[in-house]
């Protein structure tokens, strides 16, 4: 059985933007503070994000972010920052994996 972690075999530019945001918020305390102080403005300030990605980040839609190409390790670290329980994170990934267009 062959399966990929993401919908795309090669991440899209938007997936790269999502992953850069997740990485910055995880590794730079000033970015973390800016993001969590006003998430909507923080995500809107990134010109590389489309509406779907912006909405998924703003709502912390784990499954949607995964399907848009978010690295699951970066996504998990972001969820830990938000204190999202492990079970909720895993359930969202499992649900995303049920999508007919996945992998």
pLDDT at 6: 57
DSSP state string for 50-101: -HHHHHHHHHT-HHHHHHTT--HHHHHHHHHHTT--HHHHHHHHHHHHTSTT
Q: Indicate whether 18 pLDDT > 50.
A: yes
pLDDT at residue 25, as a whole number: 95
Domain that residue 76 falls in: 13-97
Q: Is 46 helix (H, G, I), strand (E, B) or coil?
A: coil
More confident residue, 2 or 51: 51
Q: How far is residue 65's CA from residue 96's CA, in Å, rounded to a whole number?
A: 9
- Tell me if 3 is assigned to some domain: no
Number of domains observed in the structure of the chain: 1
CATH code, domain carrying 36:
1.10.700
Question: The pTM is what?
Answer: 0.84
> 53 in a domain, yes or no?
yes
């Amino acid at each position: 059985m062959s399966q990929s972690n993401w919908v795309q075999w090669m991440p899209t530019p938007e997936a790269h933007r999502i992953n850069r945001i997740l990485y910055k918020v995880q590794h730079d305390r000033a970015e973390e503070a800016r993001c969590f102080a006003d998430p909507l403005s923080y995500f809107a300030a990134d010109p590389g994000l489309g509406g779907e990605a912006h909405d998924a980040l703003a709502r912390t839609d784990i499954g949607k972010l995964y399907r848009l190409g978010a690295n699951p390790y970066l996504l998990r670290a972001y969820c830990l920052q938000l204190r999202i329980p492990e079970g909720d994170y895993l359930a969202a990934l499992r649900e995303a994996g049920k999508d007919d267009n996945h992998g």
